Amino acid sequence: MEALAVRLSGLDPYVDGAMRIVAFYDTLMRRRVDLPALARASAGLAECVAGIRVHCTGQVIRVSPDGRQASAPSAPASTTVPITLDAEEIGTVWLERPDLPNALDDVLLDRLAIAAAAVAERYGPALTTMADPALVELAISSDSDEAARARALRLLGFAADLPVRVAAVRSQLPLDQVGGLVCPARLVKAAALADVGVILATAIDSARFPAGVRAGIGAVDSPDRSWRQARTALRFTTPHQTVVSYDDLGALALLAEIPQDASRDNADVAAIAALARTAGPEDLETLDAYCATGSLRQAADLLHLHHSSVARRLEQITRTLGIELTDPTGLTRARLALTAWRLLND
């Protein structure tokens, strides 16, 4: 193989340069350098500013050819290559060449990206969002002892002095994509457990969950308790309220503790169940919108219907349920019954 490389390099200067770059980074990887050292070596080799960004932590390293941290504002990248680990993009490397890209820039950045991925995997936990499901389950299980839970969290990358919040997610989108959106600048880990996705992070921005995703968010507490709370909050999600925080449920969370037989035997819940069996889906959608807003006109806006159409539907629903929806007490009964029925069918 070495003889072939020598023969090729004699025939083509590009191949000679590429082989020298490969050997250069092989040497760096054998020396187990860190990311700043990789950036310094790359800037010196490229004779321009070289940069490395790690998405998970937000760490950005920019080094000038003289080996010092680049102080000037970032110039537009002349060449960029993603850092991938376990088929997931965890960062980016780039060159800020003031003139046209060099013919060997792509080779240099490819090797830099490979080296950066190896460094990320070697030092501390992998910086990918997706985590080992066994570790995640150990971290959130109520059956785990505190020592095992602390070890699992440490292996996942969470510091012992930082709180961990857990979200339970149902999504057609990849979990790593969802995790990156709701926690873009801090450590976040995700795994699929049975039928529910799990996201662990020190902070979760509920407003950043993408459309089509349902999520329940636990309180900042021990991970096992936060997980139970997240699962409970997920059960309270609806088509009109796709993200629910356990902290916002208050006394409503008690509905999840009611025995199922007691809920089924309740007359209001039974009436909702009968409506679901006999009426069209638009009636349940109308009831849900009205219960969510408490206003005829707001419900009409939510449903994109004229308020008179919604009024006619609500009159029919009122007769079917035997609950006066325009009365505050009746509206409360309908809200509780609809929620209890949903919990039964979760």
Domain segments of the chain: what residues?
2-122, 133-256, 258-344
The domain 258-344: what is its CATH number?
A: 1.10.10.2840
d(CA 330, CA 132): 48
* Per-residue pLDDT reduced to its tens digit, 31-54: 888 889 999 999 999 999 999 988
Cβ-proximal residues to 40 (8 Å cutoff; 6+ apart), any chain: 63, 67
CB 21 within 8 A of CB 45: yes
* pLDDT for the residue numbered 82: 92
User: Looking at residue 254, what is its pLDDT?
Assistant: 94
pLDDT at 238 over 50: yes
343 closest CA partner among 281, 279, 274, 253: 253
CATH superfamily for 2-122 is GAF domain (3.30.450.40)
The pLDDT tens digits of the residues spanning 301-318 come to 988 999 899 999 999 999
DSSP secondary-structure letter at 237? -
Tell me: pLDDT of 63 over 60.
Answer: yes
pTM of structure = 0.65
- Taking the C-alpha atoms of residue 64 and residue 313, their distance in angstroms, rounded to an integer, is 69
Residue 261 backbone phi and psi in degrees, to 5: -60, -40
